[in-house]
Structure 1
Amino acid sequence: MTHLTQESAPVLEALNRYKSMRVVPFDVPGHKRGKGNRELTEFLGEKCLTVDVNSMKPLDNLCHPVSVIKEAEELAAAAFGARHAFFMVNGTTSAVQSMVMSACKRGEKIIMPRNVHRSAINALILSGAIPVYVNPGVNKELGISLGMSLSDVEQAILENPDAKAVLVNNPTYYGVCSDLKAITELAHKHNMLVLADEAHGTHFYFGEGLPASAMSVGADMAAVSMHKSGGSLTQSSLLLVNNELSEGYVRQIINLTQTTSGSYLLISSLDISRRNLALRGREIFKKVGEMAEYARAEINQIGGYYAYSRELINGDSVYDFDVTKLSILTLDIGLAGIEVYDILRDEYDIQIEFGDIGNILAYISIGDRILDLERLVSALSEIKRRYAKDRTGMLSQEYIRPQVVLGPQEAFYAESEPTPLDQSLGRICGEFVMCYPPGIPILAPGEKITAEVLEYIKYAKEKGCFLTGTQDSLVNKIQTVKE
């Protein structure tokens, strides 16, 4: 194999070689480099369609890479400080599921915070692994979930010495980090694997002065959303593997659910973005951090909003904070985050990442400009002037401690019946209910439906949150396990 450096982009180079060969395609995809679907070619461009190709010898195969994809994965592993990197084309959802399913078999336990993304709980439904939930800390003023406290993780480990793994969000959607290094050392002492959901932490590997990345503290696996802060195409992601985990076994687990028709648009975007971050990541994320700090200072001057940052750090449940995240509390202007989110989009043509009951998150990354941030700041200032009202009656509690009655797999596949919200109190939920984004379940299969949960669901509906996960698209009914 030729000596590769981070300047190389093996997949990109192979695709360019392939394009110059003018091969006659008697293989799939059927659009035949765009010739068979003019409208699509006009919409996406010929350059795009000519590289939407099938796996073949010169281009390697994502299911079992032996040449250019293998080289590109090795470069990604080196760039992220991992022993191995897998290119994922079914999103970080698939990376999270592959992590959980590599670590746990049916009936085995995994310790995790309850404010995980739905993909982690989906992995439990698929595999039959059993969650041991650690309730995250909660900041009552902000109404947000924090990280896991080290003593809570230790208690869960001591009470469940047979657990196979500990899963940690690094960071949470809002930018909050647990003490990943201490949790990793503790779990390893008890022969448990450490899995990190780094969907929102790609930049930790390249930026300076940012929280520790999973690989840097010796965690075993990490799911990294290259398409979020790393600049690759939507749905492309990395699964990083460290330590003594078997690369071959993990690839077999990935191949249980990942497509056999890996998209070269996604694969090449991972290769190109990795090269960009390896060569320029430090300066890119320095700029992103500075833009976020600028916006925070401007927003906090408006009054009524609170854009929070490292002042939240408490050494435990907020061990560190990701300063590139622009998370803003809106409750003091009397508006739920989702209401500010809707006004920004409908009246100012500004699309932010999400709004929940009390906060909004503007995602700042590689492609933003100060000019755009100034527009966001002035829109928020105007929204306060035009819409602010008294905050009485605002709900702020973002995290509700679940009462787990059945394992997720058992509950999801149990016989269930549609039950009107008002009649579901006290029953066991057989499906998910969540606001999307961020896609963290309010209810997961196997949890008891309490008065607090129902109040939250009704309030979220009233405020205009996009509720998902239920069979009933209007979320007037919940599937409950037949008693």
Structure 2
Amino acid sequence: MDRINQHTAPVYEAMLELRKRRVVPFDVPGHKRGRGNPELVDFLGEKCVGVDVNSMKMLDNLSHPISVIKEAEELTADAFGAQHAFFMVHGTTSAVQAMVLSTVRAGEEILLPRNVHKSVINALVLCGGIPVYVPVRVNHQIGIATGMALSDVERAIRQHPQARPSLSIIRLTMALPLDLKGIVELAHQAGMKVLVDEAHGTHLYFGDNLPISGMAAGADLAAVSMHKSGGSLTQSSIMLCGKDVDAEYVQQIINLTQTTSASYLLISSLDLSRRNLALHGRESFEKVSSMAEYARAEINEIGGFYAYGRELIDGDSVFDFDVTKLSVFTQGIGMTGIEVYDMLRDEYDIQIEFGDIGNILAYISIGDRIRDIERLVGALEDIADRSAAADRKELYCGEFIAPELVMSPREAFYAQGEKLPLEKTVGRVAGEMLMCYPPGIPILTPGERITQEIPDYIEYAREKGCSLQGTQDPECREMRILTEI
């Protein structure tokens, strides 16, 4: 079968044509190509504000695409090896939620690793699905959850024979993927749909010697953050469908929550980024891999830091390694990841993706340069030298906490509750979510019972500078807990 011509960009080309026509706008947005807001034009530029337009005939409609958006989505599906692709303008959060909402109904089960993104839990609050958590393995050396082992997934499937569950798989941000193809085969044999969160996985579709992508592994649905490693504007993502997926039904689900006033800045950035990746992606991500490997080697020469790589592959919960991810364990220099994260930003003007209790993640992608890598390595070397002269304290190595699930997230979220200080919540059931962000993996979700280790971990994370979010209390010092349990 002949591939589609990937040199075209239908939405982008339609917007160029619109600009040539100099259409007089008596529609929204109200800034009227920027004339009503000169400061916005000064800030963003006339070209940008001039194409911030609303849906019209020549530009198609994201909620019901029939022309240029439809063509652009078909090009995207072809480039990513999918049966269908949807442009998403509410980020990968909305794509993840649409995946769950299109496969799970109230009272149905979905198998999950506990370390899913908060968007999955929020989708379960909306649809009333029941999470069944598959155990995740933990690497105690670096204090992170690695992933689900194939044997654990198989056991979970056997233990739920009466259910019609789906299986949601997280694409770990720390570069440690699981046996995706093996898990997909197991799930499909059991009649289950497989949903893959590939928020950090755009490059997997365009790189050699990288972990397998969701579509290549045979997944049913995948949510992909084009803006993370694909080059599109922040908040723009795509949702991919495999074979035997009712794409028309998925479109209806997407339309339940996605805006009817989609930004053409985001849509056109997806169109252009897809073209760039289809034509140049393999070359680009080969350079990204080389830069990340170079950085990994240089950081490991410093001493104290551990930039881990393929040596962590065990063929089980760590089935492969994403070499583009520069993940570094920091506690060898006596500092937590979040402390190194803060120092890099505040003292060296280097902004990395995130830091947690034990690690930092520097996101390397198509816009990075080797001199930026060298600046990061130099800053880490300086931080290590400074830490050697300081008194090192014994650090807590972040462990993965798996609380007991007492009731479904939806039941708990809408149940009657009361607010209590965190230290007084032990033994009670959470009615809301609490997490460190980034990356947004909940420490607690609605419906989970609180044990003493949870407030202890939260206070330690707070003391070290992690950003706590999720509770009604902006300071995250109180939590809504259920009164009926």
Q: Distance in 2 between matches of 1:399 and 1:254?
A: 33
CA contact (8 A) 1:6 1:75 kept: yes
Establish whether residue 467 from structure 1 lines up as the match of residue 468 from structure 2: yes
Answer yes or no: is 1:366 the counterpart of 2:366: yes
TM-score norm. by structure 2 comes to 0.98
RMSD, matched Cα: 1.0
Match of residue 264 from structure 2: 264
- Contact 1:92–1:223 (Cα < 8 Å) also in 2: yes
Structure 2 residue runs of 5 or longer lacking an equivalent are none
Aligned to 1:15: 15
Q: What is the aligned partner in structure 2 of residue 137 from structure 1? A: 137
Partner residue of 1:451? 452
1:156 aligns with 2:161: no
Indicate if the aligned counterparts of 2:226 and 2:236 stay in contact, CA closer than 8 A.
yes
Quote the offset at 1:149 in angstroms.
0.4
Equivalent residues, number: 480
Q: Which amino acid aligns with 2:401?
A: I
CA distance in structure 2 between the aligned counterparts of 1:263 and 1:324, rounded to whole angstroms: 30
Identical aligned pairs, as a percentage? 65
Listed as ranges, the gaps of 5+ residues in structure 1 are: none
Deviations 1:336-386 (A, max 9, x none): 100000011110000110000000000000000110111111111111111
Displacement of 1:397 after TM fit? Answer: 2.4
Alignment of 1:186-225 (within 5 A): 186-225=186-225
Conserved? CA contact 1:143–1:398, under 8 Å: yes
Letter in 1 for 2:238: L
Q: Which moved more, 1:381-390 or 1:455-464?
A: 381-390
Aligned partner of 1:279 in structure 2 is 279
**Counterparts of 2:205 and 2:4 in 1: how far apart (Å)?**
20
Amino acid at match of 1:210: L
Compare 254-263 and 153-162 and name the one that shifted more.
Answer: 153-162
> Hey, what does 2:483 align to over in structure 1?
482
Please state whether the residue corresponding to 1:215 is helix, strand or coil.
coil
Q: Which amino acid aligns with 1:150?
A: L
Report how far residue 401 of structure 1 moved.
1.4
The 2-side partners of 1:391 and 1:443 are apart by 30
What is the SS of the residue equivalent to 1:133?
strand
SS at match of 2:102: helix
Whole-angstrom distance in 2 between the partners of 1:310 and 1:478? 40
Query: What TM-score do the two structures reach when normalised by structure 1?
Result: 0.98
Provide the C-alpha distance between the structure 1 equivalents of 2:212 and 2:392, rounded to a whole number of angstroms. 37
1:437 corresponds to = 438
- Cα distance in structure 2, aligned partners of 1:131 and 1:211: 27
**Which residue of the partner structure matches residue 420 of structure 1?**
421
Q: Deviation string for 1:82-102 (max 9, x for gaps)? A: 000000000000000000111
Provide closer, same or farther for how the CA distance between residues 390 and 315 of structure 1 changes in structure 2, counting only shifts above 3 A: farther
List structure 1 runs of 4+ shifted beyond 6 angstroms: none
1:205 and 1:455 map into 2 onto residues whose CA distance is: 40
Deviation at 1:422, TM superposition (A): 1.2
| 1:86 maps to 2:99 | no
Q: CA deviation at 1:199?
A: 0.3
Match runs of 1:13-52 below 5 Å: 13-52=13-52
Any idea what SS the aligned residue of 2:209 has?
coil
Match of 1:229 in 2: 229
Check conservation: 1:87, 1:238, Cα contact below 8 A. yes
Q: Which residue of 1 aligns with 2:402?
A: 401
**Structure 1 position 128, deviation (Å):** 0.5
Q: Distance in 1 between matches of 2:387 and 2:186?
A: 49
Report the alpha carbon displacement of residue 4 of structure 1 after superposing the two structures with TM: 5.3
Deviations 1:16-43 (A, max 9, x none): 0111011110000000011111000110
- Measure the CA separation in 1 of the matches of 2:313 and 2:298: 21
Deviation at 1:168, TM superposition (A): 0.8
Give the aligned partner of residue 253 of structure 2.
253
> 2:291 is matched by which residue type in structure 1?
M
- Alpha-carbon shift at residue 391 of structure 1 (Å): 5.2
> Would you say the 8 A contact 1:357–1:398 is kept in 2?
no
CA distance in 2: counterparts of 1:135 and 1:261, whole angstroms: 41
CA 1:264–1:63 in 2, change beyond 3 Å: closer, same or farther?
Answer: same
- Residue 70 of structure 2 is matched in structure 1 by 70
Residues 264-296 of structure 1, C-alpha deviations (whole Å, 9 max, x = no match): 000000000000000000010000000000000
Question: Equivalent residue for 1:176?
Answer: 176
Corresponding residue of 2:383: 383
The 3-state SS of whatever aligns with 2:448 is coil
Separation (CA, whole Å) in 2 of partners of 1:420 and 1:206: 48
Structure 1 residue matching 2:376: 3-state secondary structure: helix
Distance 2:314 2:429 in 1: 36
Structure-1 residue corresponding to 2:346:
346
